[in-house]
Structure 1
């Protein structure tokens, strides 16, 4: 069986962690380790994580920084980066084992959890764009050969778009394994902000990043509630 480390960055995600703790607990096995990397939560996230995972690390906040910290302590030959509000599909580990022989990295297709018909269009567009561009997002549960990940220096230290940046580096080393099995990713942010508003915001941020905008500025625009002037 594949020797896998699943790395989950969190920050004040107690509710989400409690909701998915049984599905996370079932992932653990002699060949799969579960690592949660906390960015300084104040809501009890760390305490709950210690009950259901193999390792819990606390470091400075920042998704790329947290995922790199988790990768540094991981023992698996394959690293899978999972958002706390994303659930792997049944048989995910078997799919990884059978497909990674020919590829060194990859991702799953994604399904958004919301029932609104617009989410079916959005997720289809996300999956198609990823297949055409060989660029994965964090919502798609990216996975990569651990030795290659470390050779490349891990995720670029960016506050936003770190998944896009790493994908562009990885595709120089071969095309990704695009698994059609779908992870289920929470649509909570879309529903809170408004579906159309969120789509337009994400398009604008991606275009700005492509045009060379500072990721720190884009991060402030994507998470305005985390900043106070």
Structure 2
């Protein structure tokens, strides 16, 4: 069974569409868990209408803490993680199931496409993420983003879950996981994600941030310590 975990904080503009896209795949998704870090808007109210479990705790003040808290409550043997502004495609649940039916697969991910941006930003977003995945997998330091990634639960627990960092906890965990087993990058496991950060900060700033962050993670094992919050 797949348990989907979504960390949230003040995501009332996005969470409903995310949860509706997940609920369309109940054939594969056994439960949907929202871990909220103390929203002051209508996020929790909306989540309670569409999710199976809604955990509210102001101490869940980072995506990693929210994901770990949700994972601790999950009953499924596969843990899938998305963000509140993520929309999964109609084959997403099936793609995860197929990926983990393969022998030795411990984690899986898929492409990410923006859904609310200009053509230029879409091209830049797709190119940069696809390039990142291809290069890191070639170098055997796989970097999967937390907005679209799945792990076997027993393996996730063995690794200790997402590290307690402000940023890049998803990249650090996937790098660690890559040392122990097989990963799958499935085109069928694609998602749409909001380009609000690209619109707010610009593609140039984002690309520079990603480059410097990747280099620091690869060579020092630590991410950058600052990333502006965008709602």
TM range (shorter): 0.7 to 0.9
Per-residue deviation, 1:22: 2.8
TM-score (norm 2): 0.86
TM-score by length of 1: 0.87
Aligned Cα RMSD in Å?
2.2
Alignment of 1:38-187 (within 5 A): 38-59=36-57, 60=59, 61-102=61-102, 103-113=105-115, 114-133=117-136, 134-139=142-147, 141-181=148-188, 182-187=190-195
1:104-154 Cα distance to aligned partner (Å, 9 max, x none): 211011112223224324313312321332211123x11000111011111
Q: What is the DSSP-based 3-state SS (H/G/I as helix, E as strand, rest coil) of the residue aligned with 1:14?
A: coil
Counterpart of 1:6 in 2: which secondary structure?
strand
Q: Secondary structure at the match of 1:176?
A: strand
Query: SS of 1:104's equivalent?
Result: strand
| Equivalent in the alignment of 1:195 | 203
Higher helix share: 1
Secondary structure, counterpart of 1:138 in structure 2: coil
**Contact 1:64/1:155, CA 8 A, preserved across alignment:** yes
The gaps in structure 1 that reach 5 residues or longer are none
Partners of 2:28 and 2:94 within 8 A in 1 = no
Higher mean C-alpha deviation, range 152-161 or range 106-115 = 106-115
Matched length = 220
Report if aligned partners of 1:131, 1:178 keep a CA contact under 8 Å in 2: no
Q: Which residue, 201, 216, 220 being the options, matches 1:212? A: 220
CA offset digits 1:63-83 (Å, max 9, x no partner): 111100000000001000001
Alpha-carbon distance between aligned partners in 1 of 2:222 and 2:98, rounded to the nearest angstrom? 39
Gaps of 5+ in 2: 137-141
Q: After superposition, what is the alpha-carbon deviation per residue over 1:147-175, rounded to whole angstroms, capped at 9, x for unaligned? A: 11011111111110101110111101223
Any conservation in 1 of the 2:18–2:86 contact (CA below 8 Å)?
Answer: no
Is the Cα–Cα contact under 8 Å of residues 24 and 52 in structure 1 kept in the other structure?
no
2-structure distance, mates of 1:106, 1:131 = 14
